[in-house]
Amino acid sequence: MTKMRSVYIHIPFCKSICSYCDFCKVFYYEKWAHEYLLRLKDEIEDFYQNDEIKSIYIGGGTPSALSLKEIEFLLELTKKLKKSLNLEFTFECNLDDINEDFLKILKQYQVNRLSIGIQTFQKHLLKLLGRNHTYEDAFEKMKIIRSFGFHNVNLDLIYAIPSETKKDLMNDLKLFLKLKPDHISTYSLMIEPHTLLFSKSIKPIDECIDSEMYKIIYKFLKKKKYVHYEISNFALLNRESIHNLTYWNNEEYYGFGVSSSGYLENIRYTNTKNLLKYLKGNIDPVREILSKQDIMDNEMMVGLRKRKGICVQEFQEKYHVILEDVYPIKPLLKNGDLKLKNGYLFIPFEKVYVSNEILLKMI
């Protein structure tokens, strides 16, 4: 039987570099973008195995930084993929790049989900993050998006930004909800090496405030009928991200493009992060062959990110092992780090903030 897989395509180009971003990215340069898309075409033709695709996610970088002609070329490449009838097709974009011509092209190529990096609407926080937009900008763009029939829109929210207050966060949450997104991805700001914030010696916010902000987000969005289906993600009913659930369900996916990662059969791979290498056709992937134990460990780590957790019976049928024979489930249930309900093992909400520590105890 043909496997159902997902596809991630990385576009590393940006018109400006945000101060917090540590993803593989460079300033947009037309010559490089042209060459990059040709290499991407080669990679897809060489490695795609003709299986059915249930989700496509084009991320970056900033895919919408490409010219309309380049976006059309990129989307034309996806015609090579055998798409399922219920395909979820996500395209990441910046507010500045959204216009009628852009949306027309996306519609033409079956894109049915947009992901927009808003992050915040607070002026002093936008300045720190190296971004520049207003709520009014977002409101007008969302009107255009909805008029083109896009009924599945994700907005990214960053919180725990240095100098951010709880009042700032509440203001952002209220403004986000006015835009009526179908999905909200939330990210606690991590100040990573190789970012502008790190180079300026900006210190992260206090962990206690970070934790309190997480609880504020959860309570506010729950009251507004958003389902908290994964540690960092909230969605209206039936608007959960199919693509992201591919990762959290430990299912297989292709990664195409510089720095992209994939998981096929029992192999995880990551392409070169060197753009010049990639432009010369040298994908140079680092491959890791996974043992059964590796695969089970990964399923536990990603599966427990889901608020519903892991189905014990399905895990047993999939791996032919009993969970508690492989992992220290009983002591973690006893001390409250884990709960078992209706056949699902999960981390209770009050322990979500320390989920990494719980996973370390288990694996």
Segment (H or E) for 8? strand 4-11
Q: At what angle do helices 166-178 and 207-223 cross, to 10 degrees?
A: 30
Write out pLDDT tens, residues 184-243.
999 999 887 877 787 878 888 899 999 999 999 999 999 999 999 999 999 999 999 999
pLDDT value, residue 75: 98
Asked if the model's pLDDT at residue 269 lies above 70, the reply is yes
pLDDT value, residue 2: 58
Burial 239-266 (b: 16+ CB within 10 A, else e): bbbbbbbbbbebbbbbbbbbbbbbbbee
Burial 144-172 (b: 16+ CB within 10 A, else e): ebeeeebebbbbbbbbbbeebeeebbeeb
DSSP three-state, residue 228: strand
Return the structure tokens found at 219: 């309570």
Amino acid at 275: L
CA distance 267 to 346: 27
Contacts of 349-353 with CB under 8 Å at 24 or more apart are 349/218, 349/307, 352/214, 352/231, 353/211, 353/214
Percent of the chain whose predicted confidence (pLDDT) is above 70 = 98
Confidence band (pLDDT; 50, 70, 90) for 363? confident
Q: Are 109 and 71 in contact (CB under 8 A)?
A: no
CA distance 261 to 67: 25
pTM of the entire predicted model: 0.95
Q: Are 310 and 329 in contact (CB under 8 A)?
A: no
What architecture is domain 4-247? Alpha-Beta Horseshoe (3.80)
Write out pLDDT tens, residues 26-69.
888 899 999 999 999 999 999 999 999 999 999 998 999 999 99
Write out pLDDT tens, residues 346-357.
999 999 988 989
Burial 301-327 (b: 16+ CB within 10 A, else e): bbbbbbbebbebeebeeeeeeebeebb
Smallest CA-to-CA distance from 330 within 315, 312, 318, 314 is with 312
Confidence band (pLDDT; 50, 70, 90) for 1? very low
Q: Where are the domains of the chain?
A: 4-247, 309-363
pLDDT value, residue 23: 67
